[in-house]
């Protein structure tokens, strides 16, 4: 009987090893109680004060104290500093080192642009715009490798990288998109080449494959669109390890829509899934039913997202990253603050910088193991 069980177990291991990468179920990682903290030090340098229980503390320290174990940091190629586009390599390295010192894992979000990349905006960096297509691919690969080597030298190598941000309509237009315009389907081949170049740059810097590669479209509540996108990614032989989704209830449907999308993606692609951008008003008139625009409504919403992630088959719902968690008091740091109010009403701090109840959910089931015994010093 023991010999039979051993042979059966050995056979299952061999079968698992033979599965193509796209079908293998990745080993689960610690659940990510994460936040996009890309602006926190810039805000503080411009006078923003973050408070926990009435006490002013460094923003990163407050997230650490609440059990945040994963910091998402975006990176622009050559930003001009306007419209909150301050995320240069030097700035991001400094911020990553501070997060690393607090025991947080790092998700580096490559935009491959000088400015915001999203479903409606994906521009080639100015310094790259005249490169022939093959040279552009090589530049993407080299830039990705060089960036990660800089992080390694500073002792804060990311555990995960995004090769593009909200790229469901492509990236680096007009080479890799837009996919949603007429004849956009023809852009999939050059987009695939760009994504493969980015992924190869990651592997050049990380031959031991310690860094997970994420592909991130903005369609968390739209299962059909998400499947169409990832079917094309797989068809282009783009190597990736994890799936990232954007989910805002005012744009991406209900919690039920998110749940359906994640379940279908998990069963089809067998990869870990992160809701890598999520947010909900604590104030205002957004009215994303059934969650009111109150601090407790925001907390109830985030708990529903966490519960949906825990319900993904095969433990493939791996965590969330709250977007613009630190986006407060924009008149102090943004040249056009009137356009920023919607994000201030979705932050995890009120208008005076006081931590909101939703931050309590970052404690999670394993908060103590997530938190390093560290204190951030200025």
* Chain center to CA of 146: 21
Q: Tokens 């389907």 correspond to what residue?
A: 185
Tell me what pLDDT residue 137 has. Answer: 98
143-198 pLDDT, tens digit each: 999 999 999 999 999 999 999 999 999 999 999 999 976 556 789 999 999 999 99
User: What is the DSSP pairing of strand 55-57 with strand 160-163?
Assistant: unpaired
pTM equals 0.89
Please work out, in degrees rounded to the nearest 5, the angle formed at the alpha carbon of residue 248 by the alpha carbons of 169 and 260: 80
112-139 pLDDT, tens digit each: 999 999 999 999 999 999 999 999 999 9
Tell me what pLDDT residue 340 has. Answer: 85
Tell me what pLDDT residue 376 has. Answer: 45
Tell me what pLDDT residue 373 has. Answer: 38
Q: Which residues pair with 73 in a beta bridge?
A: 108
Residue 23 has pLDDT above 50, yes or no: no
Q: What is the DSSP code string of 283-298?
A: SSS--BTTB-SSHHHH
76-115 pLDDT, tens digit each: 999 999 999 999 999 999 999 999 999 999 999 999 999 9
263-290 pLDDT, tens digit each: 999 999 999 999 999 999 999 888 778 9
Domains of the chain, CATH where assigned: 30-370 (3.20.20.80)
User: Does the annotation count 166 as an active-site position?
Assistant: yes
Q: How confident is the model at residue 235 (pLDDT cuts 50, 70, 90)?
A: very high
Tell me what pLDDT residue 4 has. Answer: 40
The residue annotated as part of the active site, out of 44, 166, 286, 344, is 166
Tell me what pLDDT residue 104 has. Answer: 97
User: Does the annotation count 277 as an active-site position?
Assistant: yes
The residue annotated as part of the active site, out of 44, 100, 277, 344, is 277
Element (H, E) at 62: helix 59-65
């Amino acid at each position: 009987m023991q010999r039979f069980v051993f042979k059966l177990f050995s056979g299952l291991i061999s079968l698992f090893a033979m599965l193509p990468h796209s079908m293998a179920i990745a080993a689960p990682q610690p659940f990510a109680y994460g936040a996009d903290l890309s602006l926190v030090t810039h805000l503080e340098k411009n006078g923003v004060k973050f408070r926990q229980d009435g006490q002013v503390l460094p923003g990163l320290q407050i997230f650490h104290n609440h059990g945040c174990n994963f910091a998402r940091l975006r990176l622009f190629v050559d930003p001009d500093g306007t419209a909150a586009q301050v995320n240069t390599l030097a700035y991001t390295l400094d911020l990553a080192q501070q997060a690393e010192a607090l025991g947080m894992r790092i998700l580096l979000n490559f935009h491959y642009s000088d400015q915001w990349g999203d479903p409606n905006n994906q521009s080639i960096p100015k310094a790259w715009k005249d490169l022939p297509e093959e040279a552009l691919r090589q530049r993407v690969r080299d830039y990705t490798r060089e960036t990660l080597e800089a992080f390694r030298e500073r002792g804060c190598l990311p555990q995960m990288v995004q090769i593009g941000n909200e790229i469901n309509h492509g990236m680096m237009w007009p080479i890799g998109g837009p996919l949603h315009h007429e004849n956009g389907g023809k852009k999939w081949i050059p987009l695939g080449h760009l994504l493969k170049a980015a992924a190869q740059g990651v592997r050049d810097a990380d031959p031991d494959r310690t860094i997970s590669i994420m592909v991130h479209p903005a369609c968390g509540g739209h299962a059909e669109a998400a499947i169409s996108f990832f079917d094309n990614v797989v068809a282009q032989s783009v190597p990736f390890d994890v799936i990232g989704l954007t989910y805002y209830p005012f744009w991406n449907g209900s919690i039920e829509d998110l749940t359906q999308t994640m379940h279908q993606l998990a069963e089809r692609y067998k990869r870990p899934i992160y809701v890598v951008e999520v947010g909900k008003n604590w104030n205002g008139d957004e009215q994303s039913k059934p969650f009111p625009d109150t601090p407790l409504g925001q907390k109830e919403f985030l708990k529903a997202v966490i519960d949906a992630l825990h319900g993904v088959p095969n433990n493939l719902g791996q965590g969330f990253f709250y977007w613009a968690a630190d986006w407060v008091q924009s008149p102090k740091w943004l040249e056009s603050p009137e356009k920023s109010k919607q994000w201030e009403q979705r932050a995890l701090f009120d208008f005076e910088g006081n931590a909101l109840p939703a931050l309590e959910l970052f404690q999670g089931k394993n908060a103590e193991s997530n938190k390093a015994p560290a204190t951030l010093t200025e």
